[in-house]
Amino acid sequence: MTMIGKMHIEHSPALDSIPQAKYEGYVWMSDKELPNVLEGRDVPRNQAGQAFIQEALLWDAEHRQSIHVRHVGHLQVVRYDMKDQSIDDAVPFLSHRIAGHARLKFKRTWVEEIDPACARMTVMVPGELIFVGFGS
């Protein structure tokens, strides 16, 4: 588990590490042209055939968790615990092929880093972009 400020980040290679919840977001299967939009439903668990999740962005507002799933030769599941984070400053981005939702909201994080080009002072650099639901 990694921490960014007070935010917990957990990496997992298994789909069963995703807790059952009412998610807002999408799941894009490898055999589909468009993603399956989730609005208050759990992630589909039993997939028949050779299809696999190639990408998923999930937001659980009740438990304030964001889950990012990517298939990069293997399944990569990253869970962000946002309980101690404000999402009021989330940034909307235009969506691509997400039916009924023109924008996706992301929480932008910043990380402290020592910059050798800045007299070795600590500077803030962009960190993770964390999905926090659909937006306007």
Mean pLDDT, each 10-residue run in order, the chain (136 residues)? 54 77 93 92 74 91 94 86 91 90 93 94 93 91
Which amino acid type is present at position 40?
G
pLDDT value for 9: 65
Beta bridge partners of 36: 27
What are the DSSP E strand ranges found in 1-136? 2-4, 7-12, 23-29, 36-41, 53-60, 65-71, 75-81, 91-94, 103-115, 121-135
**What's the pLDDT at 48?**
62
CB atoms within 10 A of CB 103: 15
Which of 60, 27, 63, 61 lies closest to 46 in space, CA to CA?
27
pLDDT at residue 2, rounded to an integer: 46
pTM for this model (two decimals):
0.84
Q: Could you state, in order of their start, the residue ranges of all structural domains in the chain?
A: 2-135
